[in-house]
Chains A and B, each alone.
Chain A
Amino acid sequence: MTATNMNSGFGTDRLGTTGVAVAMTVDRSAADQAARGETERVTLTVNGQSRSIAIDPRTSLLDLLRERLALTGAKKGCDHGQCGACTVHLDGRRVVSCLMLAVQADGRALTTIEGLSGPNGELHPMQQAFIDYDALQCGYCTPGQIMAAVACVREGHAGSAEQIREYMSGNICRCGAYVGIVEAIQDAKVRGT
């Protein structure tokens, strides 16, 4: 995430200036915030970077990511917790970001698909495996699939194809790339995630 691509969002960026714990705030003017009902402030760590933003309490964590922080990797599929396209890691555990109020993420650490690759942009082994095994067609569910898959391996729920199918059942792929997804997870597990 850079200040430049934040400009495609709705707010203005102000980079903090104090040492290591740099907080990036993405605020509108106070009057604008009040007019928009942005009565709550949420401060959280997103992909290692501290962010602080005033929001309407109705905002979902997914909408905060997509509409305010310009992190559009997590996808909005059903918006009701049924499809898994919005899966992110909250304090290291996978959650569906559409069914969580953003205010409830205050003080917590979030990892999205944007935060999965290495410092020089090298792909995470799970991302590479999805490519190698054709584990997608249209790609819309893929960020959620990959975030769920990384967690699935970490939890120890990738012991067999059957177990992977059970613990990946919260991620729907309408293209039906399930066979490739299971193979990719088995391979990435061996390669190390």
Chain B
Amino acid sequence: MQPFTYARASTPEDAVRAVASGGPGTRFLAGGTTLYDLMKLNVETPTRVIDVSGLKELNGIDPGGQNELVFGALARMSDVAFHPQIVAEYPALSESLWRAASQQLRNMATLGGNLLQRTRCAYFRGGEPFACNKRKPGSGCAAQQGIDRGHALLGRSDGCIAVYPGDLAIALVAFDAKIDVLGPDGQRTLAVEELHREPGATPNVETTLESGELILCIRVPKTVMGRASTYHKIRDRESYAFALASAAVALDMDGETVREARIAIGGLATRPWRARTAEQALAGKTLTPRTAREAGDAALQGAKPGRDNAFRIELGARTVADALLIAKQRA
């Protein structure tokens, strides 16, 4: 591992200043479960690390507000996953957290860090022997000639087919959540849906955050659709694995009829993927296994398979359909 210097930030402003003035080799460190892991692989090579994990003002979990749930960026995944009010009123959020990682990792990892979790693409993580435009711009993409069973079907580019691996962001996108970020020029708010970029010609640029910008909190608008929601995650094994396909779904039902549906899919795309066409196709319809499946097919519209992953188009459509029927039971 490359040597680095270490400093603890005493305030968010202090942290932002240190990273913004430190240049590209300076990185924020929170729970460390992604950054330190990739440092051990020499995929991340910071020269200076600014530890924000002690910033208590970013730890809060506040579901009690009138209009929104507010989670501090440093709230631990396990604390939010098992918060009684989140479990009862926003099961999709709770499930997206407890169905991710292991309890040990959820005790360490923060919500803000989880949003910025980097891809599990083996060619990205594998380092030097493999071409990777994300790791080394211009070097190519070994995955496209390699084993792409777990790679993206949606939002691909010629330069990168790496999947966005997170679960929480999928549920947040379904709920129209926003984040507050602090940068050298002050604070701004953006939708979680605007946070992650498709790879395009610059797969190394993964988010819309500017250098030195720090996520302060996540805001989820309160909605009655929270209760009729689920995060359905399909994996090679039933626990402690990344999604082959997942769906975050929330419903507003009038009896058997859908007033409004929210659908976002994970594990299938290069970024959290909101499926608005599928949502619109369901509005005003009776929710049955058949209409649910049609919505699943609509959600996967435009999916482009590679060599080994075509089966995940059918899998993705079924995952969405099953998620809709699970959410309906909770309406």
Q: A residues bordering B, Cβ < 8 Å?
A: 37, 39-40, 56-58, 60, 79-81, 84, 87, 90, 93-96, 99-101, 103-104, 148, 151-152, 155, 157, 165-167, 169-171
Chain B residues contacting A40 (CB-CB under 8 Å) are 6
Segment at the interface with A among B65-73, B104-112, B308-316: B104-112
Tell whether, in the assembled complex, residue B107 and residue A93 are in contact, meaning their CB atoms are under 8 Å apart: yes
CA gap between A58 and B4 in the complex, in Å: 7
Chain A residues contacting B39 (CB-CB under 8 Å) are 58
A contact patch SS: mixed
Q: B residues bordering A, Cβ < 8 Å?
A: 1, 3-6, 29, 32-33, 36-37, 39-40, 49, 51, 53, 78, 101-105, 107-108, 239-240
Tell whether, in the assembled complex, residue A95 and residue B240 are in contact, meaning their CB atoms are under 8 Å apart: no
Tell whether, in the assembled complex, residue B108 and residue A155 are in contact, meaning their CB atoms are under 8 Å apart: no
Tell whether, in the assembled complex, residue B53 and residue A81 are in contact, meaning their CB atoms are under 8 Å apart: no
Q: Given A80-B37, A99-B33, A99-B37: A94 and B1 within 8 A (CB)?
A: no
Chain A residues contacting B49 (CB-CB under 8 Å) are 57, 101
Point out the residue from A37, A57, A94 that lies within 8 Å of B103, measured CB to CB. Answer: A94
CA gap between A99 and B4 in the complex, in Å: 16
Tell whether, in the assembled complex, residue A99 and residue B53 are in contact, meaning their CB atoms are under 8 Å apart: no
Point out the residue from B6, B33, B102 that lies within 8 Å of A57, measured CB to CB. Answer: B6
A-B contacts, 29 of them at CB < 8 A, read A39-B5, A40-B6, A57-B3, A57-B4, A57-B49, A58-B1, A58-B3, A60-B36, A79-B40, A84-B104, A90-B107, A93-B107, A95-B104, A95-B107, A96-B105, A99-B32, A99-B33, A99-B36, A99-B37, A99-B105, A99-B108, A100-B32, A101-B29, A101-B36, A101-B49, A104-B29, A148-B103, A169-B102, A170-B102
Tell whether, in the assembled complex, residue A166 and residue B239 are in contact, meaning their CB atoms are under 8 Å apart: yes
Nearest residue in B to A37 (C-beta to C-beta)?
Answer: B3
Q: Which of A39, A101, A152 has the most CB of B within 10 A?
A: A101
CA gap between A91 and B324 in the complex, in Å: 40
CA gap between A76 and B49 in the complex, in Å: 24
- Shortest beta-carbon distance, B55 to chain A, in Å? 13
Chain B residues contacting A103 (CB-CB under 8 Å) are 6, 51
Nearest residue in A to B79 (C-beta to C-beta)?
Answer: A93
Nearest residue in B to A92 (C-beta to C-beta)?
Answer: B107
Chain A residues contacting B3 (CB-CB under 8 Å) are 37, 56-58
- Shortest beta-carbon distance, B108 to chain A, in Å? 5
Q: Given A80-B40, A101-B32: A165 and B103 within 8 A (CB)?
A: no
